[in-house]
Amino acid sequence: MPTVLITGCSSGIGRLTTQRFAAHGWNVAATARHPETLAALEAPNVAALALDVTDEASIARAVAATVERFGTIDVLVNNAGYGVFGPLEAMSAGQLEQQFKVNVFGLAAVTRHVLPVMRRQHRGTIVNVSSLGGRFGSPFFSAYYSSKHAVEGLSESLRYELKAHGIRVKLIEPAHFKTGFISSLECVTLSTYEPQIDTMKSWVVHQDRKAPPADPIAEMVFKAATDPSDRLRYPVRGRIALAIHAVLPDAVWRAMMGAGMSRRPRS
Ligand SMILES: NC(=O)c1ccc[n+]([C@@H]2O[C@H](COP(=O)([O-])OP(=O)(O)OC[C@H]3O[C@@H](n4cnc5c(N)ncnc54)[C@H](OP(=O)(O)O)[C@@H]3O)[C@@H](O)[C@H]2O)c1
């Protein structure tokens, strides 16, 4: 059976994706910063491995352990990530750097370590979990959304250079789904922005209350991983927003997004 290595499997999308691939009989290298969080996932075809995307040595160890146990890596799912929420002015340089270290440089580091394995076999698929936030901006998500824009640019560029090596690149672009994401949001604030932050937060909470479970994302990751076509982008529950964004004049779209800072959700 083919082998997939997934980052960020302690919760949410990574966990569900592990279960999805394992149920299809794949060999799964399920990785997390704290591998004890993966105990419930272990099975004959699931290896629980330590991997912090900001720690090159842990990446090298996890990739080597996967190849040793399963012989190869056919699919890499770069899923690990988190968000910083709040005004850019309130963020320390360290907070902004850490956002990119995990969401962008971490993803690039894991990819660099897996690529020699995929190139040797002249086959492989890299599935990068981006976000609808990789396609447009939103108030107080400057750090998180810019990191996802970087993931989009990296992935779209990388697909050109890997095509000749038989390696595909895919982007998953989910809208809001219920996972550990909101509870792990790192929030920063500054008094001068507080009324708008408060209103935007009420939208985030409102959307999270309505957000569905993330199983369709895991399904989409599996679909993208097994899709032999050259398709790059796989939105999940975001087609309408993307269609509206594509047809609305920029100024109208921006007015709509900006309204979230002054108008609270109903109910
Ligand atoms: N949920 C949504 O609505 C949504 C929408 C669009 C995109 N996404 C993206 O989906 C991905 C998964 O998020 P989620 O929604 O499933 O949230 P989640 O439940 O909070 O899961 C995030 C995962 O990333 C891991 N992680 C964070 N920093 C890491 C690091 N340095 N090294 C390794 N793993 C690390 C976390 O591990 P720990 O437990 O160790 O912290 C956790 O396993 C993220 O890239 C996120 O940006 C989510």
Q: What are the pLDDT digits (tens) for 149-185? A: 999 999 999 999 999 999 999 999 999 999 999 999 9
The CA 250 to ligand 1 mean position distance, Å, reads 30
- The answer to whether the predicted template modeling score (pTM) of the entire model surpasses 0.95 is yes
Q: Is the CB of 102 under 6 A from ligand 1?
A: yes
Domain limits of the chain? 3-189+213-240
Q: Considering the chain, what is the average pLDDT of its residues?
A: 97
Residue nearest to atom 46 of ligand 1 (CA): 81
Residue 252 has pLDDT above 90, yes or no: yes
> Which contiguous run of DSSP H or E holds residue 77?
strand 75-78
CA distance 89 to 117: 42
Helix extents (H) in 164-235: 194-210, 215-225
Mean pLDDT value across residues 111-121:
98
**Mapping DSSP to helix (H, G, I), strand (E, B) and coil, where does residue 134 land?**
helix
pLDDT score for 222: 98
Which one, of 260, 254, 255, 266, lies nearest residue 209 by Cα?
Answer: 266
Helix extents (H) in the chain: 12-23, 56-70, 93-100, 107-121, 142-163, 194-210, 215-225, 239-247, 250-258
Mean pLDDT value across residues 221-244:
97
Mean pLDDT value across residues 42-67:
97
**Mapping DSSP to helix (H, G, I), strand (E, B) and coil, where does residue 50 land?**
strand
The top-level CATH class assigned to 3-189+213-240 is alpha beta
Residue 95 has pLDDT above 90, yes or no: yes
Residue nearest to atom 17 of ligand 1 (CA): 181
Could you tell me the pLDDT band of residue 133, with boundaries at 50, 70 and 90? very high
Vertex 251 angle, CA 135 and 260, to 5°: 70
Residue 267 has pLDDT above 80, yes or no: no
Of these residues, 10, 130, 147, 155, which one is catalytic? 130
Residue 266 has pLDDT above 90, yes or no: no
Question: Among positive and negative, which fits the CA dihedral 33, 226, 212, 237?
Answer: positive
Q: Is the CB of 78 under 6 A from ligand 1?
A: no
Known catalytic membership, residue 193: no
Tell me how long the chain is: 267
Residue 10 has pLDDT above 90, yes or no: yes
Residue nearest to atom 44 of ligand 1 (CA): 81
Mean pLDDT value across residues 42-64:
97
Q: Is the CB of 11 under 6 A from ligand 1?
A: yes
